Amino acid sequence: MRSTLELEQMRSTLEEAIVETRSTPVENRPRLPRLALSKRNRAVVRALNPMLVTYLEASRDLCETDSILFGAALAICHIIGAKLSTAGRATGQSSAIPAWRIRIEERIARSRALIGKLICFRSGNTRPRIVRTVRMAFAGTNSDQKRLYKSMERPIVSGTGPAPNQADTVAYWRSLWSKPVNHNEGPWTEVVVSQCAGITPMDPVIITPDDVA
């Protein structure tokens, strides 16, 4: 028997996988591995089956149904930790797409899905699916925030020797910035000056308060 938190995480994974599949061209979909019919894998399938009813009932055509079923299979692979091939299908067209581009497109699709849900939540949409996503996003933000504060509270250790005192620091930077330097502009400035010698200077422009009133 799975806990409520596990079911919510599985539901979120399923939704993200379906959104990702809908926004990915068929030729760029990853290859799904063949999974063993173990008790654990069957339990995951049984847990996801009731969640598919809402998506399948709202499906309008076979293409959308195909995206839902493929997204469900993709979600199962994510949940059980199966390795996926991101190189696309074994065709000349898909193999020419770099792996980095596929990864970026997948991240963009997931980000768009999350941003869309946040916009719906701000506009007053409080459907359970939207609220679940927002709560998980806030939980992740709070976790990252706590991790950041803990890292800032830890003492920073850098270098292998003692830190320099103020007098040594001032002397070091003064030795760099107090030395006079003769800049060599190079002959190219003379070329530019000679090229601009025939240009008529522009008349001075006087701006009065009436011009900006």
Q: Out of 3-17, 38-52, 102-116, 145-159, pick the least confident.
A: 145-159
For 66-94, how does the pLDDT look when each residue is reduced to its tens digit (9 = 90+)? 989 998 999 988 888 888 876 555 444 44
Q: How far is CA 70 from the centre of its chain?
A: 23
Contact 132, 14 (CB under 8 A): no
Which among 79, 52, 67, 77 is positioned nearest to 18, based on CA atoms?
A: 67
pLDDT score of 165 more than 80? yes
Per-residue model confidence as pLDDT tens digits over 129-145: 888 888 887 777 777 77
**Is residue 183, in this structure, part of any structural domain at all?**
no
pLDDT at 182 over 80: no
Cα angle: 88, vertex 94, 96; to 5 degrees: 120
Mean pLDDT of 98-119: 87
Which amino acid would we find at residue 125? N
Q: Give a yes or no: residue 124 inside a domain.
A: yes
Residue 163 lies inside a defined structural domain of this protein? no
Q: Is residue 164 part of a domain?
A: no
Answer for the pair 33, 77: CB distance below 8 angstroms, yes or no: yes
pLDDT over 50 at 174, yes or no: yes
Question: What pLDDT score does 121 carry?
Answer: 82
Residue 117 banded pLDDT, cuts 50, 70, 90? confident
pLDDT mean over 83-111: 73
Give the DSSP H/E element, type plus range, for residue 12.
Answer: helix 4-22
Contacts of 76 (CB under 8 A, 6+ apart): 35, 41, 44, 45, 48, 82
What is the pLDDT at residue 86? 63
Alpha carbons within 13 A on the beta-carbon side of 105: 18
Q: How confident is the model at residue 108 (pLDDT cuts 50, 70, 90)?
A: very high
Output the DSSP codes for 136-175. HHHHHHHHHHHHHHHHHHSPP--SSSPPP-HHHHHHHHHH
Domain count, the chain: 1
Give the model's pLDDT for residue 157.
Answer: 63
Per mean pLDDT, which of 57-66, 82-91, 182-191 is the most reliable? 57-66
| pLDDT (mean) for 195-207 | 87
Name the CA radius of gyration of the chain, rounded. 31
Burial of 76-105, coded b for 16+ CB within 10 Å and e otherwise, reads: bbbbeeeeeeeebeeeeebeebeeeebeeb
Task: Give this prediction's pTM.
Answer: 0.40
Q: Please check whether residue 60 lies inside any domain of the structure.
A: yes
Mean pLDDT confidence for 113-138: 82
pLDDT value at residue 92:
46
Amino acid at 145: Q
Q: Which of 84-93, 96-105, 123-132 has the weakest average pLDDT?
A: 84-93
Q: Is residue 66 part of a domain?
A: yes
Residue 39 lies in a domain: yes
Range of the domain at 100: 4-151
Assign 59 a pLDDT band (cuts: 50, 70, 90). Answer: confident
> Does 172 fall in a domain?
no
Average pLDDT, the chain: 82
